[in-house]
Structure 1
Amino acid sequence: MGVGRVVIEADGGSRGNPGPAGYGAVVRDSASGEVLAERSEAIGVTTNNIAEYRGLIAGLEAAAELGAAEVEARMDSKLVVEQMCGRWQIKHPGLRPLAAQAAALVGRFGAVRFTWIPRERNKHADALANAAMDAAAGKPPREAARRAAPSAGEPAREVAAPDSAARVRAREVAARAATGRAGTDPATVKPSWEPR
């Protein structure tokens, strides 16, 4: 039996860019805030942005396993949120297959909304990502990871409406990402941000 509506909090990081990296994802019941699933993993040496996408994918997979019908994905990565909403191009070739994988998972839900949140409101997922990196480095887990608390604070800023248009746009992004094609018409080119 499915859980209805859930909130995913996802994060990823690297110690150096690229550097040793990991991700964390938390799935919560949207009504009670109860933690339904946690995912974290060290993923070797890679970039921060790749780790952020891996965190999103892990969260979406966990939500799908729980049978969620609707998802709000909250991240402190402006890049991932804007790319998944289709407003920024995905120029980096290493991110395209990850964006395509995430978009394919988005299509499994009735509605998905992507929301940017400040880093301080993403502490649980951040703690999981850091714990995974610590474990890979042979360090003891940080106390924050063992006692990560639910996010609190001001309401999240919604950046994509939870309607079918967002899902359609995500599929378009995935299609472009999978083929490596980007629009060449200046009227359709979206602003993009690339890491140095």
Structure 2
Amino acid sequence: MEADGGSRGNPGIAGAGALVRDKKGKVLAAKALPLGKASNNVAEYSGLIAGLELVRDIDPDAQVEVRMDSKLVVEQMSGRWKIKHDDMKRLAHQASQILSPMQVTYTWIPRAKNGDADRLSNEAMDASAAGTLWNPAASAIQVN
């Protein structure tokens, strides 16, 4: 699973995106979430939550590798960094309840390797700025 989030301004117009691939790289599911006004960290966590929900909907017993370019989210969800901010604590708790923590591993990847999730988060920010919903049919990321 790959996820990303961003905001244009911090806080600002925000969006999150996530996609699930099979072991061969085929996209099984994708989602973009327009978030209105939010911080970058809230958007990153929202992408994580959306992706975990997609995985759960496909296979609630799956073992999943979460790949994100947010060092903060990866380190906090891996338990290596403390979560100090109340919003982040709430979102981390929400994410940890979607699938068993025993099913999920977290891997930091460079931004350049997170292009599809980044595209989805930008589509979500564009929709958020326009005050519209995300249109999966018009997405650059198509589910196979």
TM-score by length of 2: 0.88
> Residue 103 in 1 paired to residue 60 in 2?
no
Q: Does 1:45 align with 2:37?
A: yes
Write 1 or 2 for the structure with the bigger share of helix. Answer: 2
Residue 73 of structure 1 aligns to which amino acid in structure 2? V
Equivalent pairs, count: 136
Shift of 1:106: 3.2
Answer 1 or 2: higher relative contact order, Cα 8 Å, separation at least 6: 2
Q: Which of 18, 26, 34 is residue 19 of structure 2 equivalent to? A: 26
* Distance (Å, rounded) in 1 between the aligned partners of 2:102 and 2:42: 26
Percent sequence identity is 56
**Is the contact between residue 76 and residue 116 of structure 1 (CA under 8 Å) also seen in structure 2?**
yes
Q: Secondary structure at the match of 2:98?
A: helix
**Matched residue, 2:114:** 122
Structure 2 unpaired stretches of 5+: none
Measured after TM superposition, the shift of residue 110 of structure 1 is 5.5
Cα RMSD of the aligned pairs, angstroms, is 1.9
Higher radius of gyration, 1 or 2: 1
**Runs of at least 5 residues in structure 1 that lack an aligned partner in the other structure:** 1-7, 150-196
Question: What residue identity is the alignment partner of 1:70?
Answer: Q
Aligned partner of 1:58 in structure 2 is: 50
Which amino acid is the alignment partner of residue 87 of structure 1? R
